[in-house]
Amino acid sequence: MTDFEIRTLRDDEHRAASDLFRETLHAPPSGDTEWERAGLAYQPGGTIGAFDPAFIGTARSFDAELMVPGGARLPVAGVTGVGVRADRTRRGVLRAMMTAQLEDFAARGVVFANLGASEAGIYGRFGYGLATRCRTYSVDRHRARLRPDLPFAGEVELLALDDSVAALPGVYDGLEHRPGMMTRPEVLWRLYESHARRSTDVVKTVVHHGPDGPDGYVTYSVGGLHVHPWTKTLVVADMFAGSPAAFAGLWRFLLGVDLVDRIVVPERPLDEPIELILADHRRATVDRVGDEHWLRLVDVPKALAAREYGHAAPVVIEVVDSLLPANTGTYRITADGAERTGEQAALALDVTTLAMLYMGTWRASALAAAGRIEVRDPAAPAAADFLFSTRVQSWCGSFF
């Protein structure tokens, strides 16, 4: 079946798109009060729909910037709200929407697209590769203690929800970002506010103030009263620290919250040093390691030229992109940058695998061993390992 239309939705169609997406998640439609807030998370002109003529599919996006290895920021589209009505799946609707969306991004000069996948088997077909990974860990609040030699500079401030809504965008913007992190436009902050206001648990925010001003924050909630009135779990929803002192200060606060037995910290960077700041590292346990964000290189030449590379022998790669054929070609990667070339390729890969390699999360040699990269020069994977390496683990940290 291909007899359907893909078009950009009007603002007055966003609620129908929201209801359709929620239906694909087996959730009820938004109530009027909830929609008043949730509707603010829709960027005008950022949502598409599929019609046959009934409304059968939708996908939306918002514009932001992505930090790549080396510190450059480039345009990125955050993709979310993707769904097809249950009686129209597996008929080409999703492929048509994703293709139309990517073509629009390319036409507007967007360099990347980024998403969190509900199912891991879907988005590789459209050039998205698993670019950042994360881990969820738990800390025993009663037995965990910070090392006494940790930096101690600054103080914490507990904010009411209304105050945190006003303050957090400025705090976040002022922090040093790692590769993979995104700017957060107003529509994304409105999404977070909507989640906080409809939460059944009270959402709290603590800001850490260092010598030069706010340099970190944590947003959390405490639940578990339905299990036992004095047995509770504190769950961190959002946390960023701009310095070691801020990270230590936020954890001093969290470990001091009374009537809490366990602190759960979901989807954090793989290299976040929680074990290193504890006197007994076994008081932190890793509950899960999994995928975080999936990246799509919409403009391969600009993406490759923008990032920083490690010091190694040059490597020529051949990239194939079936959906955006302008990206297909060979590129010479050196410690000084990347550009198109007519040289013979040492490695061949598709754009999905390039996205996995781009942020340094996966090594070229591992991808080659798994059959994701065709090796034409045996020395090339080791050189590519160094070229695409990063000083810290890439991580996005923004849910949408």
Two structure tokens written together for 121: 């088997």
Alpha-carbon distances of 229 from 234, 238, 263, 264, rounded to whole Å: 14, 25, 17, 18
Task: State the Cα–Cα distance between residues 83 and 19, nearest whole angstrom.
Answer: 10
Whether a cis peptide bond, with omega within 30° of 0, leads into 185 is no
Q: Which amino acid is it at 18?
A: S
Q: Hey, which residues are catalytic here? A: 123, 400
Maximal C-alpha separation, the chain = 69
Task: State the Cα–Cα distance between residues 347 and 367, nearest whole angstrom.
Answer: 11
Q: End-to-end distance of the chain based on CA atoms, in angstroms?
A: 30
Task: State the Cα–Cα distance between residues 163 and 101, nearest whole angstrom.
Answer: 36
Q: DSSP 3-state assignment of 244?
A: helix
Task: State the Cα–Cα distance between residues 389 and 30, nearest whole angstrom.
Answer: 44
Task: State the Cα–Cα distance between residues 367 and 165, nearest whole angstrom.
Answer: 42
Q: In b/e form, how buried is each residue of 23-46, taking b as 16+ CB within 10 angstroms?
A: ebeeeeebeeeebebbeebbbeeb
Q: DSSP 3-state assignment of 85?
A: coil
Task: State the Cα–Cα distance between residues 199 and 201, nearest whole angstrom.
Answer: 5
Task: State the Cα–Cα distance between residues 210 and 213, nearest whole angstrom.
Answer: 5
Environment class of 198 (CB within 10 Å of its CB; exposed 0-12, middle 13-18, buried 19+):
middle
Task: State the Cα–Cα distance between residues 369 and 367, nearest whole angstrom.
Answer: 5
